[in-house]
Structure formats: C-alpha cells, structure tokens
Structure 1
Amino acid sequence: MNKINEETPITSFTLNDLLSMSGSRSRLGLMSSCLAANSASVMQTFRYPCRIDAFIIGVGTEGEATVSFNLREYKLQKDTLFVSTPKNIVQVHSSGHFRCHIVHVSPGLLEQISVDTKRMMPLFLKIAMHPCLGLTPEEARTVREFISLIERVTDGPETPFGMEVVGGLIGATIYKVGDILAHYLAEHPEVENPVHSRAEEYFRQFMQLLGEHYKEERSVGFYARKLCITPKYLTTLIKQISGKSVSEWIDSYVILEAKTLLKYSNMSVQEISYYLNFPNQSFFGSYFKRNTGMSPSQYKTMI
C-alpha cells in the first residue's frame, strides 16, 4: 500500500487523478473537465477517507454500498441518486458488487456551460443535507440515460462540436437532477420549514468552517463566534439537524484525521500530535484513547 503524503493526510483526488485511474486517454478542453462511467472499478480507491475535487452525480444500477459523505453514513442501492460537492470527505465502507452510472464534473465547468447557477445553487445546498435520495424507476432511467450519453461522447472520437454536445448533456443532467430535487422538496414540505432550513444553513456553514479549522480549533466557542451566534444556540441547532453535538462533530473530524495519519503516513505519534495542534504527545494520547478506547500506538499496531 502506498503511504499518503504527510502534508495532505486525507488524500485529495482531482478530476485528472480520476481520469488517470479510470484509464481514460488524455483529453483537452471541456472533455478534460468531466468523467462519466458505469463501473465499480474505482470504488476500492475510496475505501479510505478522501476528498474529491469534483461535483458528482450518480445513480445506482445494482448491488449495494455503504458510503459516508462528510462522516455521515448512507446506503446506496439500485435507483438511489447521490450527489456530492467538491471537497466533501468521501469514504466507501462496503461495496457489495455495487455498480452505478456516475458523472464527475470539475468545479470550473459550470462557468463554461450555460447553467443557471443562481436557480440551481439553492437546490444543491439543500441536497448537501440530503445527498442520497430514492428515485422512481422512470427518474432513475432518465438520469442513467443522460450519463450514458455523456460517457459515450467523451469516450468517442473528437468531433467539431463534441465539447458543445458534452456541455449540453451535462447541463441537461444537472437540470434533471434539479427537477427531481424540486419534486422531492414539494413532497417533503418539512424540509422547507423556515426553522429547519435555518438550522440546515448553520449546519452547512459549521461543517465548512470545521473542515477548514479542525486541526487548530476544537472549541465550540470558536465556531459559534465565527457564525455570530452563542455556543448554546449553535449546539442546539447542530444537535437538532444532525443528531450529534458540535463537540462530537469536532472529535469525529480530528479522530478521522488522526486514524488516517496513523495508518497511512510515515509520521510518528509525536509528529501527529503536533500536526493536529495538541500541546504534547501525552495530551494527544489521552484524547485519542478517550475517543477510541485505545492508545495511538495500539491503533497503529493493529494495521
């Protein structure tokens, strides 16, 4: 097994990395900004926590998989729609012969094609809270057909209007997913409840801040100040929307990073404690044991 880079303990994959792993030939322009596939071959790559710098839309075709998006676990199966935004932490826990149609789109691609991001972004912010939805067979078939067309064009020979065709198909896929989301929200009015929506927005902002600062900041007060609310109110909102407290989310991020470093980096326990901004190795060891039931050294020897 290759050791991960010590400076990026949770591996990050760019779209070019995914293209390389899929065995795709080198492509230029818009063709290099998306990857569509119907394959389970790359699922094993994501069995460890990683970040994917791409917008992902997928729909299951057979089998089952248990995955996490930002540490929240979901089950994927046939006709499950799943959407992930750039920089989410993704992990595949089990993939029981799971297959899907999936398209990965680079973050800058939406700027190159005519997609009304102002209309779409509010919907995709909501699906950040509900990244997996069960589709009707007809909805699933339509999304699969769009992705299959993208795959067919990107894998085919270059043509004079190939990039325009791909851009149009990606736009159509995004709009179709928008239709599905809009229908889901109409059928689930509780998601649109103003109080619930406000809590979801705070949760989204909290998770973004946590992803940026968890190595340096582990106090509830820090995140509450950043969000301009009281620690008590932040704790109430986060618990209401996710079932976990702010402290539990912070600990989850730190422990995930620590476990990844212990398993896949060459860093010593002392180096990891400093990297994660603990005052000393002893303090880190106590924190790790309190959250996992074992010392960092014991965890390392289990690998």
Structure 2
Amino acid sequence: MIIHILVRKGEIKLNSDGKPYLLTEDCLANFLDSRFLDILEISCDAQAYMLFLKEPFMSSLLKKTPPFPPSYVQKIKMCPMSFQSPTGIKLFLQRIEAILGIFADHTHRFQAEMVKCALWMFMMDMANEYIRQEDESKEHTEKGRRNTLFKQFIKLLFTDVREGHSVSWYASKLCVTPQYLNRVVKDCSQKTAYDHICTTLTGAIIQQLEDTDNSISQIADDLCFPDQATLTKFFKRQTGKTPTEYRRMFTDRE
C-alpha cells in the first residue's frame, strides 16, 4: 500500500511498519510500500486528507514514465515527512479536491480515466515540489560555499598580500582554479580577484610610503616585487603617480 497524508491542522500520531511518526500542520507524508499503518492518536482539531493506493494500481499508473526522480524515492523511504510552503499546500489541496470531485461524479463515463489523470497531476506536483526544494537547497548550499570562499580569499589577501600578487597564487592556497575563484569573487563583490589584489597591494605600498622611511627599493623587497622598477610601474598604473611623487605629495601635505 502507498499512503499519502496531507495534514492541514492539528496533529496525527501514527505508526507505519513499526516506526512512530508525528504529523503536524502543513505536513505531507508519503509512505511507500507500507504494509500496515496504525493511527495512534488524532487531536480534536485535526484536519487531514489521506490517500490510499494499492501497489498494483500505482505500478500500472507509473509504468511508462514515473514522475519521481530516483533520489526522491530514496529520500521518501528514509524520511517520509516534509513540510510544505503555503503555495505548495494550496496546490496540493486543489489537486486533492479535484480527485474528490471526480470520485463524487459516478455518472461520468470516463471517471476511471479522469481519476488516473488527476492522480498523475497530484504526483507530478509532488515530484515538482521535491525537485524545486532540492534545487533551492543546492543553490543555498552553493551560495554558502561561495560566500565562505570569498571570505577566505579576503582574509588571506590581508595576511599574505606581500607574497601573493596573482590570482593563481590565492587559488592554489584555496585549492580552487583561478577561473572559479575569479567567478566567485566577481559574483560576491562585483570586482575581480585581481582588482582586490591590486587594491590591497597598493594600500600596503601607501602604508609604507606614509608611515616609514623605507626606500622604494626596500619597499619593493619587503613586498616581494622583483625590483624597484616593477613596483614603480605597478604603483603608477594604480594611482597615476610614482611612489616618489606620492611620498613627496604626502610629505608636503603634512
């Protein structure tokens, strides 16, 4: 027996094949291959729909193109209960009421075929809701992973900018490809990873120009530039001034 239970209000305590379950408001439970189901307790305000389907009927209904992905079936067997959004509840109620309406019309010449169609729609909606929730979960997980990577990059940037002047250097440290790191950083900040490196490295140069008496050559050596000329070229490209010009301007301003 395959059993679908949609709880609108209250609580239902039951036992399916020896396992206890507590179904509460807006809970949809799907028990696959259930040999027996015992209703242990129902609260006085409980409102629920229960749909019982024999396995041969379901097998016949789904034999051509089952609507459920295999992962859905595995998940249901492990955890048959799921809580639905108001939109999902509204949709499932519409499908159930349509099924009830078809059953009530005994004079309809195509009642059996319409019941099958209505059940198909109900089951495809369940499958669609599962796939939607699974996609949202994956998206949320991926978003969290990307945010974590971005934070790790920024933290590493401030601690290791003296050594790390390239995207590939940080990507190697974070065990990702440079392309993926760039994509994540751009998505999270609207700037490329190299933009962040340049900004932070320029800030490190400015800090030494303003707060120390180190020569440009010493600053270049401290920040792991190949030579003074490379640092000067980089700094002018970022600020429009050479390090010497910037230091003179800062000193005159004081």
Give the TM-score normalised by structure 1: 0.41
Give the TM-score normalised by structure 2: 0.48
Higher relative contact order (CA 8 A, sep 6+): 1
Considering only CA atoms, is the larger Rg found in Structure 1 or Structure 2? Answer: 2
Higher share in helix: 2
